[in-house]
Chain A
């Protein structure tokens, strides 16, 4: 019996790597610590009631953000492992298989389990508040989206200690990702981890489109919507068109692997290039999905910290909408070198470079928002300003890459790596950090420490340039991406070593951010005003942290930057807008179903990875039962009585 268990364990868990054993111990200790703390402080009920079953968009947003920061840590450690391996020629730090797993998980985690959830977290925090809504359109669905993402991410993450991780690259091109090229379970973890969280992403896209279209406060016409909300709308439109493609692509790959279908194998008439086309039809819009909301964040922050209206509102909206439309006509530039002929390459080269026009226009609009303003350099603004040079350089190398015949020399080289890290870190990560700092007081009721924040900012930025600038050069020197090692005679050592130093500097920058958060929790600078940045949009008109129901009375919108104009009016001695009488507020009830159903989905994925139908089928049944249970549940809402609203508001305002 004992032997059998031992045999099973040595098959089931990944063995033979000291790094993995370290991770095993760390995971066991962390889990034990969490269980101990929750039990000792009797917090299980609190966790269940306040968080696991919540449908409040602000709490869902916070959970998204916590999960994504954990994933940022994981993806960051992956990055540092890679940079360590590449610091010297002929390094023996990671074996090639391990290196392949590390860069695959780094890519998947950073895009799908870090950038996407951090983005959704900010959607959840800011959008309903900006448009004067009480919640998102479908609060239950919102919670389900989060838990699907979370369970998908857990399933994917688990693979590195159980079974083995995917190692065919973050987009898993066949035939490498087919059973012959990747006989390991990692690829199945990849398929199900992404599939489950992808369903969540698609639902979030739908949810926020409906929220923005239908739930805006009275008076908020299309031309008065805050820019972040516009950016969310454009991003969500892209999500609902792009994500179904991903779902289908991965489903086909799963059929190839599980049932021996031949969609993407040369045997039986399939074609691997079909997968490459399909995955990039999702994959390229995906980068615009994550960058568009960052554009919205910059717009909010730049105008707030310039104490000035956003310049060129109409241009901005048009630019974002055209980017989200054009993002569907660029996928082929990821494989110009396929040999598809001059006309095809010309078409996609031009559609790709055209995107530089609206993007460039946005840069000018931000610059001219600052022009004739009064700039203060708080951390959100610092990240937004640092974004501009970084993104302009990244955009320029992007235009260089889009020139098809020149791309023959850049493709799959470190030049490309430097480019997309520059736009994804400089555009997306900087933007989300800025947004996180900006909305932090609204989420938690206290500001983050500015001094430590500035330290983090500078170390991050210096680290960034030290890390990625050398990669352009080493790419031009012929180094290709994903090589696990290189020899001394290539001459790539100096640049790689510099790049590794930069990578570690960014890691230190991240540690400063962690310190900043910990320090700020301990020595809180309480936000008693609800409007710590002298904001312009509706979310700053309510106390921090926002009450459960957001707005005690539905705001009436008359201007574009309504809250700013209201403050101006009051400063000019005019009477504030009349407040309607308080009425009971209609709210959704908590529900355990999203959590339970996602656990069932997790079981489905896990069962299918190991071909254990005895787990997958009950999981699927669980999904069905929870769906039915929710369909027949009519007890989904309640009213907050007026006296409770009065009490909450007084408590919040008394601290003013």
Chain B
């Protein structure tokens, strides 16, 4: 088989892959299929920047193909050959000028959108915003509804057409809170609280995830955000309140230990827990390291895990004692100053 033939086949294969890719790409990618005003504006901005870039991209690709074909070294190539031609102020002005203009347009657009879409900026709406306090834990999400006095783990229920004011923090490694169909993400960081406004215009279940790597069970930090009608939301809150499970201070400290979790609902939350997470608990598990504490080898870590929890990876079933999950399971109370 000649090389040309094999190359042809490879190219054909590549095209096939490309087609299948486009086909699967068209099945509505979530970022380009927003269900809320923030996500919609971000999608428009993405389309706009893409178009602006294509204005440069397409001509450059065509020009490249044409130049490479036109000036190839062939005996009967009649294209001009000017080996000493190396400067043209006019041409250079053109290709310094065009990108400058495009970047100028983009810069102005970016500045406007950055202010308009500032995550902490409230969404204009006649509905009163619902506040949800989000805490990323190792490796689960805790959502508190301070006004409703309830909390959930790994799922959210929100009323449609209502701005949601997310207050975010972390009691563990920093993470990133992302519900692509409602809008862009924001970091959750220990010791500080960030704000993110999102809104769902349609009922439905939306995928949410942690986007910033946080260690072993990072991949299991997905959650769902369920947007429901206002009445259904109130009904759900009532049901949650009668579910019987309570989130206590001790319960929280256990929940915060490393381990994964199922979806859970809490009928009540302690007053001001979120504030304490931000100011007192956040990573107070941190930094016991000192000259006296040595890092462990991997084999040693494995041996420790096997000894404590058996060989199966530690899961955290609802309302049971937390697993140590491999990472240092210090007792939170000791360090709680």
B331 beta carbon closer than 8 Å to chain A: no
- Which A-B residue pairs are the 3 nearest by beta carbons? A408-B184, A164-B298, A260-B290
A501 beta carbon closer than 8 Å to chain B: yes
Residues of chain B at the chain A interface (Cβ within 8 Å)? 3, 7, 10-11, 13-14, 17-18, 20-21, 24-25, 27, 29-32, 39, 41-43, 45-46, 49-50, 53-54, 56-57, 60-61, 63-64, 67-68, 71-73, 77, 79-88, 91-92, 95-96, 99-100, 103, 106-107, 109-111, 113-120, 172-174, 176, 178, 180, 183-187, 189-191, 194-196, 207, 209-219, 282-291, 293-302, 326-328, 330
6 CB contacts below 8 A, A to B, read: A167-B215, A185-B296, A342-B114, A349-B107, A350-B111, A409-B43
Of A134-142, A209-217, A353-361, the one contacting chain B is: A353-361
The answer for the CA separation of A531 and B196 in the assembled complex, in Å, is: 62
Given the contacts A367-B64, A396-B56, A353 and B83 also touching, CB distance less than 8 Å? no
Q: Say yes or no: B286 contacts A175, CB within 8 Å.
A: yes
Residues of B within 8 A of A480 (CB): 178, 209-211
The answer for the CA separation of A399 and B110 in the assembled complex, in Å, is: 11
What is the minimal beta-carbon distance from B22 to any residue of chain A, in angstroms?
8
A16 beta carbon closer than 8 Å to chain B: yes
Q: Say yes or no: B190 contacts A272, CB within 8 Å.
A: yes
The answer for the CA separation of A374 and B83 in the assembled complex, in Å, is: 9
A244 beta carbon closer than 8 Å to chain B: no
Q: Say yes or no: A168 contacts B215, CB within 8 Å.
A: yes
Q: Say yes or no: A173 contacts B173, CB within 8 Å.
A: yes
The answer for the CA separation of A357 and B327 in the assembled complex, in Å, is: 47
The answer for the CA separation of A502 and B186 in the assembled complex, in Å, is: 32
Residues of chain A at the chain B interface (Cβ within 8 Å)? 10-16, 96-97, 100, 162-165, 167-169, 173, 175-176, 178-188, 256-260, 262, 265-268, 270-273, 306-315, 335, 337-339, 341-342, 345-346, 349-350, 353-354, 356-357, 360-361, 363-365, 367-377, 385, 388-389, 392-393, 396, 399-400, 402-409, 411-413, 451, 454-455, 458-459, 462, 465-466, 469-470, 473, 475-478, 480-486, 490-491, 494-495, 498, 501-502, 609-611
Q: Say yes or no: B10 contacts A462, CB within 8 Å.
A: yes
Residues of B within 8 A of A402 (CB): 110
Residues of A within 8 A of B29 (CB): 473, 476-478
Q: Say yes or no: B174 contacts A184, CB within 8 Å.
A: no
What is the minimal beta-carbon distance from B313 to any residue of chain A, in angstroms?
8
From B17, B84, B330, A498 is in contact (CB under 8 Å) with B17
What is the minimal beta-carbon distance from A315 to any residue of chain B, in angstroms?
6
Q: Say yes or no: A338 contacts B187, CB within 8 Å.
A: yes
In chain B, what residue has the closest Cβ to A355?
Answer: B103
Q: Which of B21, B42, B218 has the most CB of A within 10 A?
A: B21
The answer for the CA separation of A164 and B77 in the assembled complex, in Å, is: 60
The answer for the CA separation of A377 and B69 in the assembled complex, in Å, is: 11
Residues of A within 8 A of B176 (CB): 337, 411-412
Given the contacts A478-B30, A478-B31, A495-B24, A350 and B107 also touching, CB distance less than 8 Å? yes
Q: A361-B96, A482-B213 are in contact. List 7 more A-B contacts (CB 8 A).
A: A175-B174, A179-B293, A266-B282, A369-B86, A400-B46, A405-B114, A462-B10
From B27, B49, B191, A400 is in contact (CB under 8 Å) with B49
From B42, B118, B298, B299, A186 is in contact (CB under 8 Å) with B298
The answer for the CA separation of A607 and B214 in the assembled complex, in Å, is: 28
From A14, A268, A371, A454, B297 is in contact (CB under 8 Å) with A14
In chain B, what residue has the closest Cβ to A459?
Answer: B10
The answer for the CA separation of A469 and B297 in the assembled complex, in Å, is: 38
The answer for the CA separation of A186 and B300 in the assembled complex, in Å, is: 12
Q: Is the interface of A mostly helix, strand, loop or mixed?
A: helix
Q: Say yes or no: A373 contacts B295, CB within 8 Å.
A: no
The answer for the CA separation of A476 and B47 in the assembled complex, in Å, is: 12
Q: Say yes or no: A478 contacts B24, CB within 8 Å.
A: no
The answer for the CA separation of A142 and B234 in the assembled complex, in Å, is: 71
Residues of B within 8 A of A306 (CB): 71
Residues of A within 8 A of B73 (CB): 307, 374-376
Q: Say yes or no: B67 contacts A371, CB within 8 Å.
A: yes
Q: Say yes or no: A335 contacts B207, CB within 8 Å.
A: no
Residues of B within 8 A of A490 (CB): 207
Q: Say yes or no: A308 contacts B83, CB within 8 Å.
A: yes
The answer for the CA separation of A339 and B217 in the assembled complex, in Å, is: 25
Q: Say yes or no: B87 contacts A256, CB within 8 Å.
A: no
Q: Say yes or no: A339 contacts B187, CB within 8 Å.
A: yes
Q: Say yes or no: A185 contacts B297, CB within 8 Å.
A: yes
The answer for the CA separation of A342 and B64 in the assembled complex, in Å, is: 38
From B11, B110, B196, B207, A403 is in contact (CB under 8 Å) with B110
The answer for the CA separation of A412 and B211 in the assembled complex, in Å, is: 6
From B42, B184, B191, B294, A337 is in contact (CB under 8 Å) with B184
Q: Say yes or no: B301 contacts A403, CB within 8 Å.
A: no
From A184, A349, A377, A475, B295 is in contact (CB under 8 Å) with A184
The answer for the CA separation of A253 and B293 in the assembled complex, in Å, is: 15
Residues of B within 8 A of A399 (CB): 49, 53, 106
What is the minimal beta-carbon distance from A334 to any residue of chain B, in angstroms?
11
Q: Say yes or no: B209 contacts A361, CB within 8 Å.
A: no
Given the contacts A267-B287, A353-B107, A364-B95, A164 and B297 also touching, CB distance less than 8 Å? yes
Q: Say yes or no: B84 contacts A183, CB within 8 Å.
A: no
Q: Say yes or no: B56 contacts A360, CB within 8 Å.
A: yes
What is the minimal beta-carbon distance from A369 to any residue of chain B, in angstroms?
8
Given the contacts A400-B49, A403-B45, A163 and B212 also touching, CB distance less than 8 Å? no
The answer for the CA separation of A478 and B179 in the assembled complex, in Å, is: 8
Residues of A within 8 A of B290 (CB): 258-260
In chain A, what residue has the closest Cβ to B21?
Answer: A470
In chain A, what residue has the closest Cβ to B47?
Answer: A406
Q: Say yes or no: A372 contacts B180, CB within 8 Å.
A: no
The answer for the CA separation of A495 and B21 in the assembled complex, in Å, is: 6
Q: Say yes or no: A356 contacts B99, CB within 8 Å.
A: yes
Residues of A within 8 A of B32 (CB): 476
In chain B, what residue has the closest Cβ to A369?
Answer: B86
What is the minimal beta-carbon distance from A611 to any residue of chain B, in angstroms?
5
Q: Say yes or no: B299 contacts A14, CB within 8 Å.
A: yes
The answer for the CA separation of A400 and B54 in the assembled complex, in Å, is: 11
Residues of A within 8 A of B180 (CB): 409, 478
The answer for the CA separation of A175 and B298 in the assembled complex, in Å, is: 19
The answer for the CA separation of A367 and B60 in the assembled complex, in Å, is: 9
Q: Say yes or no: A163 contacts B297, CB within 8 Å.
A: yes
In chain A, what residue has the closest Cβ to B326?
Answer: A97
Residues of B within 8 A of A610 (CB): 294
The answer for the CA separation of A184 and B285 in the assembled complex, in Å, is: 16
Q: Say yes or no: B50 contacts A400, CB within 8 Å.
A: yes
From A257, A272, A483, B219 is in contact (CB under 8 Å) with A483
Q: Say yes or no: B301 contacts A164, CB within 8 Å.
A: yes
From A259, A375, A404, B110 is in contact (CB under 8 Å) with A404
What is the minimal beta-carbon distance from B65 to any residue of chain A, in angstroms?
9
From A183, A310, A370, A502, B17 is in contact (CB under 8 Å) with A502
Residues of A within 8 A of B300 (CB): 11
Residues of A within 8 A of B291 (CB): 258-260, 611
Q: Say yes or no: A388 contacts B64, CB within 8 Å.
A: yes
The answer for the CA separation of A536 and B280 in the assembled complex, in Å, is: 67
From A173, A267, A273, B283 is in contact (CB under 8 Å) with A267
Residues of B within 8 A of A357 (CB): 96, 99-100, 103
Residues of B within 8 A of A404 (CB): 110, 113-114
In chain A, what residue has the closest Cβ to B74?
Answer: A374
Q: Say yes or no: B217 contacts A405, CB within 8 Å.
A: no
The answer for the CA separation of A451 and B284 in the assembled complex, in Å, is: 61
Q: Say yes or no: B174 contacts A272, CB within 8 Å.
A: yes
What is the minimal beta-carbon distance from B294 to any residue of chain A, in angstroms?
5
Residues of A within 8 A of B294 (CB): 610-611
